[in-house]
Structures are given as structure tokens and as C-alpha cells.
Structure 1
């Protein structure tokens, strides 16, 4: 009796692998893990040796699709052609076309007419920044669930959980497109989803804002802050530069290069104990010029409210955010970094440039020096774009176009 979809769905996993017969040498193989795949048991036309050809996993491949593929394989056998070798040769001949990046670019172009320019730019940017550097040059048929898992963990470790989710969805759509093109048999992302808990549960991350509306509201809230003037301006500089709390609170006038519009943070105040240069946007320069005009007797740009010889206390920024109406579940000062990084990634800025601005230091000394030299100018453009973008969101405007990077 022929199989039905319900019968395949209800087939239980057992302690040993077993097959369900659909007739005409087409089977559904059930593994102890619960995996179900369509297979064809046949004998090679030339040697008579028994072979097994796998069509794909159920339900990624439907029963109807498996039967069509089976009919094509049987036709090849009738012509004296081994369908397994034929499939292998086809993949080898089109290996360049079968790279993940090639398939993904085809998928992007296929969908471009149906997307807005923003959607196309966002999807293309996510693949370019998060996926292509790691699996883009791999044959799509050789990419495993473990490759995808490693890729998503890499994104997740940076605190951009929503981006990890979206990248996962994009990769899945590319793989399903490849299944449609008969270049692979199943979507490995689906296996990762079953093997892992939701990304949001794998690690507790600092609260941050993600949507353009929320970011615009934050910029308005900081500008309208009614607490101490120094705290208000420190918060604003922290958002525009997405630096850490100790870096902002300990900022000294000697570290600010007004001529070159740079903030040079010494190694002792950096988490990675490496000096860091922060390009300053026009907005930050205006804030610093305004604060400097106060002529307060302190080496610190944002001295303590109680003593100009000391820096602001560690809890000052989060207390100010609570006073502005943000709960600890909604936002913390350290979340400014995730807010800025996510916004930049979502808008297509290069990952290397963003990571350098976050002061995630490259361990390779030669590469680090190269990155420092090549990324500073791009970081300068990026920081000005971000400040302009945040001001635009504050005013309820549309997304501004990217600067061209070198």
C-alpha cells in the first residue's frame, strides 16, 4: 500500500533504523533520532552493486516531490545511468554556482522586485556582514547544521540577539531556495532550531532599544532630561559614541583633540587594556564645546556632582534613565552599545568597522595595526552617520542613506 503524509508523520522513532515502503523501491527511512528521509534502493546498471540514493528529508521534501524525483531516477536507470553518480557530477560541474554566496545573491535578486529598497538593503547587508565572511565561499551542499550553529552563536555573543534571529531566518530562506533549485536536499537551519533553545534564552543580555521609534524617543528623552546638566550631557555623549560607562565618566579634557575631532581613551580605562580612538561627530563636538564653556575647575569633562576632583558614580547613568521613565527591563546605559551596534548592522555598515568602534580588539597584532589604520576614516564617517540618523529619528524622519566607505 502506498504511503500517505499522515502515515509518515505518525511513524515513530525506534531503537534501530527502519524503512517504510512506498512501492517501486522508494522508501522512507526512519532513524532513531526521529529523522525521516526519502531513499531509493537500487543496483548500479554497470556492476549490479546495491546503492542508496537519498532524495531529501521529510517534510523539507514532500511525498509528492519525492515521487517525482524518484520517477526521474528510475528513468536514468532505464538508460543505464547511475542516478547517484549523475547527481554528484552535476554538482561538481556547477560547483562555482553552488557556493552559498552565489545562491544567496540569486535569491536576493529574485526577490528584489517585491521588496522595498530598505528591505533589500537590510537583507543584503545582513548576509554580507554576518554570513558571507564565514560560509559564503563554501559549497552550499557541504554546509552543516553545526556551521549554522557556530554562525548564530558568533552573532549572539555580540549581544545582537534580534539580528541573530533574522540572520537565521534569512539563511533558512536561502537554503529552501537551494532545495527548490535541487542543489541541496534539506535546510540545515531547521535542524539547528530543533537542537537549540530560543536564542533569547541562551544568555541574559543587557536591556537595550531596537526599533527606530524607540531610538527616536530615547534621543528626545535625553535632550529633555531635567536632572543635573552634567549627567544629561554625559548620557548624550555616551549614546552618540556608544562607549562604556567608565570611559565616559572618566573622560578628561586632555583626551579630547578638538582640532582633529577625536577622543583618545588611554589603555588603563579600556576593558581590553588597549588605547582606543573615538572619532567625534559634529553633535558630540557641540556638546563638549558647550560643557567646556562652563569653565568648571576639573580635569574631568563630566565631574562628580559633589566634587569636581572625582568622577560620576557608577550608578549615576542608570539612575538617570530610571528618572527618565525607563525601567531596568527596558534599558540600561550599557545597552546603548547594543542599540547603536544593532542599528549600524541593520543598516548595512561593515562588521569590521563596527567591531573596531566597539573596541573589540583583534588578537592578531599585525592585523590589529592594519585594521586600526584602515578603519579610522570609515569609523569617522560611520559615527557622523549614526549621530545624524539618531537626530533624524528624534524628529520622526526617514532613514538617511549610507555614506560611501572606502
Structure 2
């Protein structure tokens, strides 16, 4: 006869352990001290076994019967209930202990050695400012698409859709790493791919001669610290990208040969680039070197001299000089030089080579590099003299 709750409740302890049977192997074990435990007896692989299904009365008769049925299904599959309980407990513990923050740090340590300094700083900044404050303390199992979408929408609302897109990509990378290391089963960031649309690409704005003359007059007044002013001038004179200048090392500059050899690792197109230096650029570099404190970087940051100036530093100075609001940024110096040089008749191929817009044909690219070096040197010296003339300075002898 199946056991009733009344019989289970009234069962009194005896001198020895005894059991009251229910059905299908379930029984209530009563100990001499009065404690009562549910047991499920079964045979598996020809051997008798017993599994504990909870203590009475915290586990009721109805609950004990549910556990018995769960156990019977496992036994039919050749699985011991206690082994399945241990497995689930282990997974629960691992899942609970696997918070997002430590996994993200592991991912960063594992991947960052292969990144450029700029990209490494970019990812680190987003981790510290956007990702970890929101997700760092959460178990990975508790993070879903809604939590990630909330982060992306917050970034997008402040007008930084590209940052939001990158943040989603990096969160996805962390989850894929967690999957590879058996600490997550899926990547919830994949579900919000495309939730934020990249803003319209704005092409660089070129300054008119009048605007350029005005800007040159503003640099010594509103251009910030002297090193920032010099860095701004170096961009003007050399036509390099802002990121290429920020990555610059003094070991790349040959003052005697008047050339700056930028290695491919610092270039957007991942190709070596040689920049002929005008007398004006040499003058700027010589003064810049007095601010570097003997360090490797050409433009070290004020607070962190072992890192280059922030990518927003010069744009901030441009804003103070009246060129803010997205109307003009550092990449506009390249467009300005290119436009004016074309207007004054310099060959387009030489200008494009100076801008490092390299042909995908390697043979032609190598040929162009050799062919246009002399012409580019003359062109940049003309450009330096032109800039000096706008500032009312006499071109230096060279």
C-alpha cells in the first residue's frame, strides 16, 4: 500500500533504522534520532543502489514522488541519479563562479599581444568605461541580448554609433572566448548584431586658403600646450594621418637624410611609407624632440608620457580655434594639402603617393615609390614654403 503523508508524519523513531515503503522503490527512512529521509532504491547494471531524495518534511511526499519519477527516467537511460545531481551541481557552481569580468580580462590578455597600441588602448578604454561597469559582475549565464542592447543604445544615444558597433563586436569576442573555454554555451551579442547603424561616412573637408591662413594664426594662441601646437603643424607639413603621427617613434626619423620612415605596422594600409621632410618639418621635429624627455614616442601624452597624446587632443584644439562642430578635423589637413597642390599643378600621382594611397599592384607601387620620391621632396618643400608665406614668414633657406 502506498505511503500516506499522515503515516509519514506519525512514524516514530526506533532503536534501529527502519524504512516505510511507498511505491516503485521510494521509501521513507526513519533514524533512531528521529530524522526522516526519502530514499529511492533501484538496480542498475546488475547492482542494487540507493539514492537520497531529500529530508522529510522539508521535502513533502508529493515532491519525493516527483524526484522518484525523475530518477526512474535517468535509470532507464543507464544514468545514476546521484551522478546527474553531481553534474548539475558542478555546472551550477561553474556557471555561478564564471562572472563576465574575469573572462573579459582573460580574453584581453590572450588577444591583445597581437594588436597595435592604438587598438589595444581603444579596446581597453571601452572595457573600462562601457562594458565592465555594466556586465563585469554578472555571471555569463545571466547576460542576454537585452543587457547588451541596453549598453549599445546608451552609447548610440550620445552620438557614437561606431563605438557602439565596436563594443558589440568586442562583447561578442569575449563570449566566443568563453564558449571556446567551455564557460558559456552561446553568444547573446550575436542576436543584437545590426541593432545600431553606422553613421554616414563624412569625407574630409578641405580648408580654403583664407581659412588655412586663419587657422595658422590661431595655432600659437588657442592650440593648447606647445607640444600639441607642434603636432598640429607636423600634420600640416607632412600630410600623414593623425594615428600615424601618434604612433611615431624618434628612431624612424633620419634628420640628416631628412626623411621619416614609417613602418607598415603604424600605417593604415600596412605598407612601409617614407615621408620626405621639408626644412619646416625638420624645424618642428627638432623642437618636438625637446618635449619628449628622451622618450621613444614623438608625441607623448602629458599625463601618461609612455603613451601618445589622445586621438581627440588635436581635434579639441581645432574646436578652440573655431573649427569644431564636426566641420573640420585632423584628417582635413590631408584634404587641404591635396586640394591646394592639385590647384597649383603638382602631379596627382605624386600627391596620391604622398598620401600613402598605394596601388594594390605591388610592382607598380614599388616603382611609384622610387619614381616620385624626388618629386615628393620638392613638392613638400614647396608646401612648407607656401604655409610659411600664409603666416607672413619668409621661407627658410634649404
Bigger radius of gyration: 2
Give the TM-score normalised by structure 1: 0.46
Give the TM-score normalised by structure 2: 0.47
